[in-house]
Amino acid sequence: MSVLDQILNFYKIIEKLSLVKRDIKLSDGQYENDTSHILKLTYMTQIVVPYLQTRVNKTKLLELALVHDLAEAQCGDVPLCQQSRNAQYKKTKQQNELNAIMQFRDMLPEILGNKIYDLFMEYESQATREAQIVYVLDKMEANFQACRYKDIKYWAEGDNGEWYYQSVLSGTTAEKDTLSRLQEPVLNYLENKCLNICRQCLIRDEIAVSAPVEPASNVTYAPISALHEFMNIVEKLALVKRDNLLSSGENETDADHTVKLMYLVMFLTPYLEQDVDYTKLLALALYHDLPEAISGEISRSSRKRYPQLKTLKKEKEQEALAHIRNTLPPPVNSQVYEIISEYMQKQSREAKIVRMLNKLENIMQANMYQNGNITYWKNFDCGEDAYKMALKPYKSIEELREPIISKLQDNLIKQTLLNMQKCKIGEQSLISAAQ
């Protein structure tokens, strides 16, 4: 099996992260999936870096966040309350995830398989400062998200549900010991902010819990409120629906798409022939759709049918970008603004690569529903044109002169063509031209 075939085969595993449901609700009341959580965690790892007292590897933080729940694509999620109250649950979870990650390692080309295995084991063992920071932020992100829904009474649903209430009231959170060892003030401030929000929700929803209450800290740090407000914006990416269907039949979200795109960048970069900045590639993939958290999605098919929407999309995204810049504190506000602007304006080779991979990932996912049942594309705004668009090679990919990306495009055109024939779609002239 070729390198590209191995990557495409593993892409089906990555897509399953979008199907894994967690016990935490999004702000719209739906239970979030793993990709929503992974995306928010990657954002948190990047926006705290300027405020840390010790130097860390920013790229490693992002990679660890991206991979930390990968095994759940096969094993599913085991809620933290179950792990905390039942040692056997935790032990079984760890063994199942180790088996999964070893299986994943063998599915991928050696360089990639070893990479995800090493990252996963680094996170699990908390062997590095970066792994410890990601672990702490992982737990905080869950608590922040748990409070975004209008009523937190749902925390008590299921076995051991009240553990969540007791944890935030007493301050005996899962991350407490690791947080103490790190001695990073900004993380302590973030933890205090998180606990205070959780306790305010308990009061608001009139939830009485028998647990010792740790005194709330009144010490504040200016950037924390701004970072929290920014993360409330990021959460909206999990609510933005796209045209594509997941293999389950649900519409994918911007969060699903972004996580898969970051994996695609991670997997293809070692095979690029020209030098690129890998850290920048990942950042561009992470931030590329952020304005849509505010502006919403205007799909390519809609812009095809209604060309005036292309200008509207640009205007709305520029307004959203300005709002994001004004929300974030310095210096991260300028950093985020510059990376998104670079993507929008195609200012670098890295931006051009990510823009093309963004389009190819879209086609990859579009072919995933029911093993290639692409009849639903007819429901897109552009209707039959969706098939023509998927079969047309991008000139920009030819100009990149990167064989692995060109081969990916060729593979996707071939896959789309096969699915069209299987579903009896398209004019024969169109199919013949593509062949």
- pLDDT 10s digits, 59-70: 999 999 999 999
Residues 141 and 183 in one domain: yes
**CA distance to 9, 153, 231, 236, 383, per residue, from 262 (Å):** 16, 35, 19, 18, 29
* End residue of a domain, out of 186, 219, 236: 236
pLDDT top residue among 3 and 385:
3
Q: Is the peptide bond before 331 cis (omega within 30 degrees of 0)?
A: yes
Mean pLDDT of 152-180: 83
Mean pLDDT of 47-65: 97
Which CATH number covers residue 285? 1.10.3210.10
Residues 232 and 245 in one domain: no
Residues 215 and 296 in one domain: no
Number of domains within the chain? 2
* End residue of a domain, out of 236, 269, 291: 236
Which range of residues forms the domain containing residue 397? 240-434
- Which burial class, exposed, middle or buried, applies to 429 when counting CB atoms under 10 A from its CB (0-12, 13-18, 19+)? exposed
The rounded distance, in Å, linking the Cα atoms of 250 and 35 is 14
Residues 285 and 193 in one domain: no
Residues 203 and 286 in one domain: no
Handedness of CA 305, 306, 311, 312 (dihedral sign): negative
The H or E element that residue 342 is part of is helix 332-344
Residue 433 clears pLDDT 50, i.e. is over it = no
**End-to-end Cα separation, the chain, in angstroms:** 23
Mean pLDDT of 141-152: 94
Residues 225 and 296 in one domain: no
CB-CB neighbours of 53 under 10 Å: 10
pLDDT at site 216: 56
Residue 349 clears pLDDT 60, i.e. is over it = yes
Residues 425 and 283 in one domain: yes
253 — phi, psi (to 5°)?
A: -115, 170
pLDDT in tens, 352-400: 999 999 999 999 999 999 999 999 999 998 878 889 889 999 999 999 9
Residues 253 and 208 in one domain: no
The rounded distance, in Å, linking the Cα atoms of 255 and 234 is 9
Provide the token pair at 320.
């959203």
Can you give the pTM of this predicted structure? Answer: 0.95
Residues 220 and 166 in one domain: yes
The rounded distance, in Å, linking the Cα atoms of 402 and 267 is 14
Amino acid identity, position 90: K
Is residue 141 within 8 Å of residue 44, measured between CB atoms?
A: yes
**pLDDT over 90, % of the chain:** 76
* End residue of a domain, out of 182, 215, 236: 236
Amino acid identity, position 346: K
Residues 283 and 162 in one domain: no
